């Protein structure tokens, strides 16, 4: 007759319990990984939902609408979109009666529930492939290229922008929008608020463009610059 050693039973039970513990821990890690992935994916879905309000003016793909003065914002860097949305929310932009487009934009920015949603929608806008359109103002890009030298110090020669000095991308933006904003800076409609440091820096640059033709030429040249690779560029004629 075989006599079992009773002292071994607790070890067997302990070993089995330990295996179950490892399985439970493994399952917990897997579940946590799924939750992390869900949280990672959530902002883009949330951004898409929030952008539905923006698309009424800026278009489904962020391509803009010149008829209502809504610029093409697709592919703009998140830091810039977030900065400008906060300016609209705080009344730094869109508070001047002469800024019709800004006054229209301000309540849209204020409709975002919280600062977290501002960050989410800014990242979503950056994820959109840049869209470019043919110039419409008839400016001379060759003449504009010479005058653009002053802009390149902050916005870079290729118009890619520079976050360090809070200079946004100009490459590929519509000439009509660039001309409109330059005139706003020049006339004190934009950048006059003491809280707008970047606007204050832009105002004298815009004032250096003495005539309407100079503004159109610079805008024409900037609109011919191509957004940097990283997003698929969409050409729209």
- Domain coordinates in residue numbering, the chain: 40-229
The H-assigned helical ranges of the chain are 9-58, 78-90, 100-110, 115-127, 141-147, 149-155, 175-187, 197-207, 212-224
Residue 37, CA atoms < 13 Å, CB-side half-sphere: 6
Q: What is the pLDDT of residue 40?
A: 41
Domain 40-229: homologous superfamily in CATH: Cytochrome c-like domain (1.10.760.10)
- Count Cβ neighbours within 10 Å for each residue of 171-187 and write b for 16 or more, e otherwise: bbbbbbbbbbbbebbbb
Nearest to 53 by CA among 109, 103, 93, 102: 109
Under 8 Å between Cβ of 55 and 109? no
- Structure-token pair, residue 73: 């914002």
pTM higher than 0.95 = no
- pLDDT tens for each residue of the chain, 237 residues long: 444 444 444 444 444 544 444 444 434 433 444 333 334 445 589 999 999 999 999 999 999 999 999 999 999 999 999 999 999 999 999 999 999 999 999 999 999 999 999 999 999 999 999 999 999 999 999 999 999 999 999 999 999 999 999 999 999 999 999 999 999 999 999 999 999 999 999 999 999 999 999 999 999 999 999 997 554 444 444
Q: What per-residue confidence (pLDDT) applies to 229?
A: 55
Of the candidates 162, 7, 192, the residue with the CA atom closest to the CA atom of residue 93: 192
């Amino acid at each position: 007759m075989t006599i079992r050693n009773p002292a071994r039973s607790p070890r067997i039970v302990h070993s089995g319990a330990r295996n179950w513990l490892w399985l439970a821990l493994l399952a917990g890690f897997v579940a946590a990984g799924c939750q992390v992935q869900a949280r990672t994916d959530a902002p883009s879905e949330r951004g898409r939902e929030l952008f539905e309000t923006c698309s009424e003016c800026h278009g489904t793909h962020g391509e803009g609408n010149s008829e209502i003065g809504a610029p093409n914002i697709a592919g703009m860097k998140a830091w810039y979109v977030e900065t400008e949305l906060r300016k609209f929310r705080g009344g730094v932009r869109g508070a001047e009666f002469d800024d019709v487009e800004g006054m229209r934009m301000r309540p849209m920015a204020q409709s975002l529930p919280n600062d977290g949603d501002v960050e989410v929608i800014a990242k979503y806008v950056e994820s959109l492939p840049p869209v470019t359109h043919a110039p419409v103002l008839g400016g001379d890009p060759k003449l504009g290229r010479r005058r653009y030298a002053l802009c390149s110090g902050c916005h870079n020669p290729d118009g890619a922008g520079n976050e360090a000095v809070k200079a946004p991308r100009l490459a590929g933006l519509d000439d009509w929008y660039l001309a409109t904003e330059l005139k706003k800076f020049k006339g004190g409609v934009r950048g006059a608020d003491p809280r707008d440091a970047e606007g204050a820096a832009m105002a004298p640059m815009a004032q250096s463009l003495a005539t309407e033709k100079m503004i159109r030429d610079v805008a024409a040249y900037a609109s011919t610059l191509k957004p940097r690779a990283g997003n698929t560029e969409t050409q729209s004629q």
